[in-house]
Structure 1
Amino acid sequence: MAQRLVLVVNCGSSSIKFALRREGSSAALLSGLAEQLESPKAILHWHTTDGKQSQALSPGGHADAMASLLPLIDEYADQPLSAVGHRVVHGGEHFTGAALINPEVIAAIEANAPLAPLHNPANLIGIRAAQAVLPQIPHVAIFDTAFHQSMPPYAYRYALPDELYAVHGVRRYGFHGTSHQYVTQQAALLRGWPATQGAWLSAHLGNGCSNCAVLDGSSLDTSMGLTPLEGLVMGTRSGDVDPNLHAHLGRTLGWDLPRIERLLNRESGLLGLSGLSNDMRELEQARKDGHDGAKLAIEVFCYRLARSLAGLAVALPRLDGLIFTGGIGENSALTRALTLKHLGILGLQVDPDANSNLPRGEAGNIEAAGSTTILVIPTDEERQIAEESLHLLDASN
C-alpha cells in the first residue's frame, strides 16, 4: 500500500502556505504560497520537481486560493488525501496535542484568539476555506503551543495574582513547538538514540525566534511566553523589555497602547536596533561594509540569544547538545559563531571550519574536539504537522 498523503496548510491573514507531503518522506511532492490574498495582486506560487510556477488569482480570496490549489493536488497526488493538517498558533491550555477539527475545536481556537489576535483568526480562515473545498477529508489542528504544555508550573507561571491565571489564562505558553519537537527528535536520531531521548537546547531563529529546553521529548521551558513577543530579539520584535516600558512611554511621550504595541512588534528587534533591516543577510553585509547599526544589532541579537540559552540550561539535568535551526540558525555561520563565543561556560566550543563550511540545507555537527555536541538541523514543520496528523488519525481508529 502506498504511503499516505497529507496536505499541510499554514494560513495567514493575506497568505496560505501549503505543502503536499507523503508519509515518511523528507521532501514535499508539491509546495507553495498564495500571497497578497484579498487584493487584486493575489497570486499563487508553487514548486515541484518540475520547477517553479505561478498564476494570478481572481478575485483573490482565501477560498479562491484553495479552489485553485485543488487541480494541483489532483495532478501531483497519486492517491486520495488522508488528511489536511492545519498549523494553529495558539491552543492555550485546551490542547496538549493534535486535535481532529470539529465545532468544539473551532470554538476553542476562537476562544484563544485574544491570546494570538494576529494568528488564530487567520488560521481559522484557512481551516474554513479548506473545509469548504475538501469537506470529506479529516482536518487536523496542530498547535504551536501544544508541545510546551509539558512545562511545569514554576516555568509557565508569571509572578502575578492567581486570578489572572485561573480566570484569564495569563501564563507562559511558548511557540514554535512543532519546530522544537522536530529538530530535537532529529538530533536524537543522529546520535543513534530513540527519537524522544536526550537533553537538548534548541534555538529556532528566523524572523521570529525562540529557545527551548527539551528533555526526553518533553518541553521543560521556553523563551516565548503569553505571546510571541516575549524572549529573544527578533526581526522586528523587541523580545524582553522592562515591563514598565509601556507606562514610561505613555507618561513621557503620550503614546497609547496600539502605538506601543506597534513599536514592540513591528518597529523593534533587528530592524529597530540597526535602523536598516530585519533581514540578517542584509545586516551581515552591512556589518562588513562598516555599518555601526548593523554591527550593534547582530551583537545584541547574539548576546541575548546566548544569555537565554544559558538560562534555559538550568531546566535540564545535563546537556547532550545545542541545536540551531530556522532561517538564521541554519544559514548564518556568523550568528552561530558569535553566540557560541558567550557559551563556553556550558562546554560549547565551535569548530570554525565546520561552522563556516556546513553545506546549506544539510544537518551537521559544528563543535570543536572535546566540546559538547553542537548541531545545525534544518527544521521541517510541514513534515512534523503531516506526521502528527496521521498519528492522530491512527489513534482515533
Structure 2
Amino acid sequence: MFWHRATDYILSSNYMAHRFCYLLQPGLIWTNVVMDSLIAASYLLIFLALFWMSSRLRQVAEINRYVWIFVAFGTFIVACGMTHVMEVITLWWPIYRFSTVVKTICAAASVPTAILFVRIAPALTRNMERFIFMLSTTQQEKDRALTSLIASEKLAVAGRISASIAHEISNPLESVGNVLHLLRTGAGLSPEMQRLVDSAQGEIIRAGDIARSTLSLYRESAAPVEVSLVPLLQSIIDLQAPALVRNNIQIQTRMRATVAIRAYPGELRQVLINLIQNAAAAIGEDGKIFVRVQPRRGGYSITVADNGPGVQPADRTRLFSLFFTTKGEQGTGLGLWLAHSLIEKLGGRIKFRSRTAGEAAIRGTLFNIWLPLGTPPYVPLAPFSSVQAGRRQMQKTASVASR
C-alpha cells in the first residue's frame, strides 16, 4: 500500500503539461523534442563507449585503479541523459515529481563524481604525462634504431664491396710485382730501362699499400691488439700525401706516443683518415693541417686541426648527426657520425672546436680525440672472417646451382 501510494505521488500528473508553456507552438515544441532526444542519444553513446573502454582497460594493471572514473562518468552521463528524456516526456505528460526524482539522482551522481575527479586530477595528470613521455621516448628510440640499422647495413655493404675489391686487386699487383722483380734482376737491361723498372716497381708497391690500407678498414681482429699510434698515423699521412701535395696543403706533425694502446687498428685508421680527408676538403687548396699526439690522463690525445674556413655556427650542433653533411652532393653524412660511434665504442671521446673568419682572427676547425690505454669495452660485430665465410658460401651455392 505504501509503494502504491508513493508511486501515485511521484507519477502524479495534476499539473499543466509543459507544451502549454510554449503556447502550443509546433515549431518550438518539436525543436525541443528533437534537440533533447539527440542530446539523450549522445549521452547514451558516450556511456556505452565508456563502458566498453572500462571493460578493456581492467586488464591493464597500471590503469585498473582508474577504471572507477569511467564508471562514475558513465553513471553521471546516463543520469544527465535521463533529464533530457524527461524534458521530452513532460511536454505531454506533466509528471514533474518523477522528473524531480531523476534530477535528484543526476545531482547525486554528479557531485561525488566532480569531487573525486578534482581530487584525483593531479595524480592522473602526472601519470598521463609519464605515459605520454614513455610513448614518445619509445617511438624516438625506434626511429633512432631504425635509422642506425639502415646506416649500419649500408656501411656493411660498402665494407664488403671495398674489402672484396681490395682483396682482388692485391693478387694481380703481386703478379706484376713478381714480373718486375724478374726483369730487374735479369741481365741485359740498360740503365734507363733499369730506372723505369724501379719506378714501376715502386708504384706497384705503393698500389699494394693502398689496397692493404683499404682492406684494413674492414678486416678486423676479433679482439683488440696493441696499436702504436705514431706508425699508424704516419702510414695514414703517407697515404694521403699525394693528394695533399697536389692541392698545396702542408701537413705538420708533432707526435709523442711511446706506449701502445689496445684498440682495433682498422676502425681507428678509418676515423683518422676521415678526419684528415675532411680537413683537406675544408681547406681546398693552399692551407695547413696540424696533427698532434701526446699523452693525456691515462691515455692519448689525438688532434687534427686545419686553417680552413671553419664550420658555420648553425651547423655545429648537427655535425655528428647521421646523414648530415656540409659537402653538398659530394658528402654522404656518414663519416663524422661513424667516427663518433667508433671512438665511443673504443672507450674514448671526440670533441671539436671551430671558428669562422667573422668570429676570430684565426679561423679553422680542430678535432680532438681522447683514447684510453686500456682494452676497449666491446668486440667488433663483423670481423673479416665472416666475409670470407660468406664468400665461400656464395661460391658453394653457385657451384651447386651450376651442377
TM-score, reference length from structure 2: 0.22
The structure with more radius of gyration: 2
Higher strand share: 1
Higher helix share: 2
